[in-house]
A and B are shown apart, each in its own frame.
Chain A
Amino acid sequence: AQSVAQPEDQVNVAEGNPLTVKCTYSVSGNPYLFWYVQYPNRGLQFLLKYITGDNLVKGSYGFEAEFNKSQTSFHLKKPSALVSDSALYFCAVSGGNFNKFYFGSGTKLNVKP
């Protein structure tokens, strides 16, 4: 069965510090991995995806993610956090049936000035 785990409900980081939001997945076959961000009372917005190729994927707003096949992880990272990065972040995976997406439970990122 396909699944996604985001082990941290909340991540707190100071502005200017690096941030990491963790994601692990379970999928049959090769995974397609995604990160989305949700601001309050809004729909989700796409940040980045991994389909194939380079394990380090760069996306919007300075975010990047590293695909690690052996650890089945796809952690989201940013070298220097901004207060405006505070939001809810979701990891998602599709695999096997690439029309079905499975989302993690979300991680709330709090960036303090």
Chain B
Amino acid sequence: NAGVTQTPKFQVLKTGQSMTLQCAQDMNHEYMSWYRQDPGMGLRLIHYSVGAGITDQGEVPNGYNVSRSTTEDFPLRLLSAAPSQTSVYFCASSFGQGVNEQFFGPGTRLTVL
């Protein structure tokens, strides 16, 4: 199993550009989530999904969109990037819902100029 994979590993954007961060898992996990990690602030939940076709907002959803058309994939879209979105982004998945351990991807380091 590859586990949780994320692409790209690094990305530089200009303000106003759009892009999609890809996340995939091959463990048949129902629950998937996106976090951003900023120095001194830990991880903050952006969006999460409890199954295909079901998504909901986390703690910091503004500026980000998600969709979940399949169990395996959970892309994160930035429609109009802003410097405040410079961060490291992690995708995670778990079997079932909140009581279970999450498996994290390796992260995407995004810089918005």
Q: Give chain A's interface residues, CB within 8 Å of chain B.
A: 4, 6, 9, 32, 34, 36, 41-46, 49, 51, 90, 92, 94, 97-106
Taking CB atoms, residues of chain B closer than 8 Å to A42 are 106-107
Known A49-B101, A100-B59; judge A105-B90 contact (CB<8 A): no
Taking CB atoms, residues of chain B closer than 8 Å to A99 are 31, 48, 50, 56, 97-98
Count of B interface residues, CB-CB < 8 Å:
27
Complex contact B104–A101 (CB within 8 A): no
Cα–Cα distance between A90 and B90 once the two chains are bound (Å): 14
**Which chain B residue has the least Cβ–Cβ distance from A2?**
B59
Is B102's CB within 8 Å of the partner chain A? yes
Contact of A32 among B40, B98, B105 (CB under 8 A): B98
Complex contact A98–B45 (CB within 8 A): no
* Pair count A-B, CB < 8 A: 65
Taking CB atoms, residues of chain A closer than 8 Å to B59 are 100, 102
Complex contact A32–B41 (CB within 8 A): no
Cα–Cα distance between A105 and B39 once the two chains are bound (Å): 8
Cα–Cα distance between A83 and B107 once the two chains are bound (Å): 25
Cα–Cα distance between A100 and B31 once the two chains are bound (Å): 11
Q: In angstroms, how far is the closest chain A Cβ from the Cβ of B76? A: 15
Cα–Cα distance between A91 and B59 once the two chains are bound (Å): 17
Taking CB atoms, residues of chain B closer than 8 Å to A105 are 40-42
Complex contact A98–B41 (CB within 8 A): no
> Can you report 8 A-B residue pairs in the complex whose CB atoms are below 8 A from each other?
A9-B40, A46-B101, A46-B103, A92-B43, A94-B99, A98-B98, A101-B45, A106-B42
